[in-house]
Amino acid sequence: MTARETPEPGAPAGARRPGFATALFLGRPETDPLTGPAGDPRRLQPAEERFLARLRDFCEKEVDSAAIERADRVPDEVVEGLKDLGALAIRLPRRYGGLGLSTHCYLRALMLTSTTHPALSELLAAHQAIGLVQPLLLFGTDEQKRAFLPRCVREISAFALTEADIGNDPFRMHTTAVYDPASDSYVLDGVKTWTTNGVVADLLVVMAVVPAGASGAGGMTAFVVEADAPGVTVERRNSFLGLRGLENGCVRLHRVVVPAGNRIGAEGEGLAIALAAQDTGRLSLPAVSAAAAKWSVRIARQWSAARVQFGRPIARHDAVAGKVSFIAATAFALEALVEVIARRAAAGDTDTRLDAELAKLFASEQTWVVADELVQLRGGRGYETAESAVARGERGVPVEQLLRDVRVGRIFDGSSEALRAFLAHDLIEAHRAAASGRDTGLWQQTADAGTSPGAEETEGTADPAAVGEAVDRVAVGEAVDPVAVGEAVDPVAVGEAVDPVAVGEAVDPVAVGKVPHPAAAGKSAGPDASAGRHDAVLDDHLEFVTRTSRRIAGELAAVAAESGPEGEGLDGRQRFLGRIVDVGAELYAMSASCVYARALGGADGSPAELADAFCRQARLRVAESLARLGENTDAADRAVTGHVLDGRYTWLEEGVVDVSVDGPWIAEQRPGPATGPSLRRVIRPAGTPKTARPSSDDTTRRIP
Encode pLDDT of 258-303 as tens digits: 999 999 999 999 988 888 877 667 889 999 999 999 999 999 999 9
Does the structure show a pLDDT above 50 at 475?
A: no
Kindly state the average pLDDT of the residues 163-192. 90
More confident residue, 488 or 219: 219
Report the amino acid identity of residue 147: A
Give the per-residue pLDDT at 18.
82
Cα–Cα distance, 52 to 87 (Å, whole number):
10
Give the per-residue pLDDT at 316.
94
Q: From 132, 56, 122, select the one nearest 91 (Cα to Cα).
A: 132
Strands 157-160 and 203-210: parallel
State whether residue 3 is helix, strand or coil: coil
Cα–Cα distance, 151 to 204 (Å, whole number):
12
The alpha helices in 513-650, defined as continuous H runs, are: 538-562, 574-600, 606-630, 634-646
Cβ atoms of residues 597 and 336 within 8 Å: yes
State whether residue 147 is helix, strand or coil: helix
Q: 534: pLDDT confidence band, cut at 50, 70 and 90?
A: low
Cβ atoms of residues 235 and 252 within 8 Å: yes
Does the structure show a pLDDT above 50 at 310?
A: yes
Kindly state the average pLDDT of the residues 656-678. 91
Share of the chain above pLDDT 90, in %: 66
Distances (CA, A) of 585 to 286, 369, 579, 619, 674: 13, 16, 10, 12, 45
Name 393's Cβ contacts closer than 8 Å, sequence gap at least 6. Answer: none
Widest distance between CA atoms in the chain: 83
Strands 17-18 and 350-351: parallel
Cα–Cα distance, 432 to 206 (Å, whole number):
35
Give the per-residue pLDDT at 378.
97
Report the run of H or E that residue 434 belongs to, with start and end: helix 416-436
Cα–Cα distance, 334 to 9 (Å, whole number):
26
313 C-beta neighbours (distance < 10 Å), count: 14
Distance of CA 648 to the CA centre of its chain: 38
Looking at the DSSP bridge assignments, the partners of residue 160 are: 206
Q: 441: pLDDT confidence band, cut at 50, 70 and 90?
A: very low
Give the per-residue pLDDT at 438.
61
Q: From 419, 433, 275, 353, select the one nearest 20 (Cα to Cα).
A: 353
Angle at 151 between CA 148 and CA 152, to 5 degrees: 95
Q: From 148, 55, 158, 142, select the one nearest 98 (Cα to Cα).
A: 148
Q: What is the pLDDT of residues 343-357, one digit of tens each?
A: 888 777 788 889 999
DSSP 173-231: ---EEEEETTTTEEEEEEEEEEEETTTT-SEEEEEEEEPSBTTBS-EEEEEEEETTSTT
Work out whether the CA dihedral 78, 82, 193, 673 comes out positive or negative: positive
Q: What is the pLDDT of residues 485-531, one digit of tens each?
A: 333 333 333 333 333 333 333 333 333 333 334 333 333 344 343 33
State whether residue 528 is helix, strand or coil: strand
Compute the CA torsion angle 51, 55, 56, 57 (nearest 10 deg): 100
Report the amino acid identity of residue 445: Q
Cα–Cα distance, 53 to 85 (Å, whole number):
11
Cα–Cα distance, 100 to 123 (Å, whole number):
19
Does the structure show a pLDDT above 90 at 195?
A: yes
Cα–Cα distance, 346 to 348 (Å, whole number):
5
Query: Radius of gyration (Cα) for the chain, nearest Å?
Result: 26
